[in-house]
A = this chain, B = another copy of it.
C-alpha cells in the first residue's frame, strides 16, 4: 500500500498533532456538483450508480479534484444492507428510499439473512478497492454504514417517516422482535464494515440518522447498544495504522457522554450542540467532528468565513477536531461557497495548531 500523503484527518481523529484542522463534508460527492449530476444521469437510477464501482469511484473523487478536502468517503447508500437482505430497495421520485417488502412480522425477522459482504454486497467492496487504488494515497478513505436502529426504521416503516409509528409500535409492543432485528443488523454491519476495511477503508463512520427520535432510555436500549456491539467487533488496525471509528447520532447532543463511552474514537456532532460544551463534556475520551449548519453555505462567503472562525474558536487550541457540516451538504448550494468554506477552515485554523 502507498504511504498516505495527507494523514491530517486520521491524526486529528486520534488527537495527534496536526498543522491545521482537517475538513471534509458529509455528502461531498453529491447533487450540488454539476459533474456529479452528469455522471448520475449517465448511470440511470441512484442504485445503479452505487452498484457500478467505476462510476462510484468517479463521483467519490470529483469533490477532491475541486477542493483540498482531507478525506474521501465511499460513495454508497446506507440502505445497501437491507437491500442485500432481500427487502427490495427502490427510490421513488419525491418520496426518497422505499422497500418493496418491508418488515411486518416476527417471522420475516427470523428469516432475514446476514448478507455476505463479498457476495450480495461485493459491489460495495469493489467500489472501495477501486477508490482506494485511484486515490493513490492522497487522502484517507472513509467507509461507512447506517446504524442498526436507523436501518431498522426504514425496514419497518417501508421508507422515510415523520412519526416513526410502526417501528416504535414494534419497539414498545414486541421488544423481543425488535431486538432480534437489531441484533441481526449489528452483525451484518460489523461484517460489512470489516470487509470495507479489508478492501481498503482507512476510517469508519456509523450514521445514526434517527437515534435522536428516541428517549434516552430507548436510545440506549435500541440504538446505542447495537452501535456499541459493532464498535466492539470492528477491525481497528490496517496497514499498521489505527482505523478510527466515528459515531454520529443526529439530534443526539444530550447523550454525548454515553456515545463517547462506547470505545469509538470520535463523535459526529450536528449543529445544535456547542463544540466547546461538547469538548468539555467528553474530555480527552474522543475527538469531535462537526458542526456547521449546512444552511450556512447559503450565506455570502464573508459570512461563511466568519462562522468558520467562530466554530474554530469554540473548539479552541489543539488537535481532536475534524471540521465538517453538521449534516449533509444541501443539493442547491453553490459549489464556490463549499470551496470557500474548505479553504477558510484550512487558513483560519493554523493559529490553533502551533
Contacts and interface: CB of A to CB of B under 8 A. Distances in A.
Interface in A268-323: 271-274, 293, 295-296, 298-300, 303
Contacts of A296: 168, 172
Nearest to A293: B215
A346 interface: no
A293 B168 contact: yes
A7 interface: no
A277 B138 CA distance: 46
A173 B293 CA distance: 14
Contacts of A253: 254
| Number of chain copies forming the complex | 2
B215 A272 contact: yes
Nearest to A214: B272
Nearest to A251: B251
Contact of A165 (B168, B213, B216, B332): B332
B169 A298 contact: yes
A130 to B, nearest CB: 32
Contacts of A67: none
Contacts of A212: 251, 272
A293 B100 CA distance: 29
A60 B186 CA distance: 46
A216 B274 contact: yes
Interface string A244-258: 000000010110000
Contacts of A251: 212, 251, 272
B330 A165 contact: yes
A215 to B, nearest CB: 5
19 contacts: A163-B295, A163-B330, A168-B293, A168-B296, A172-B298, A173-B298, A173-B299, A173-B303, A212-B251, A213-B272, A214-B293, A215-B272, A215-B293, A216-B272, A216-B273, A216-B274, A218-B293, A251-B251, A254-B272
Given A165-B330, A215-B274, 18 more contacts: A164-B295, A165-B298, A165-B332, A168-B295, A172-B299, A172-B303, A173-B298, A173-B299, A173-B300, A214-B271, A214-B272, A215-B271, A215-B272, A215-B293, A216-B272, A251-B251, A251-B272, A253-B254
Ordered nearest first, which 9 A-B pairs have the shortest CB separation?
Answer: A168-B295, A169-B298, A172-B299, A215-B271, A173-B299, A253-B254, A216-B274, A172-B296, A215-B293
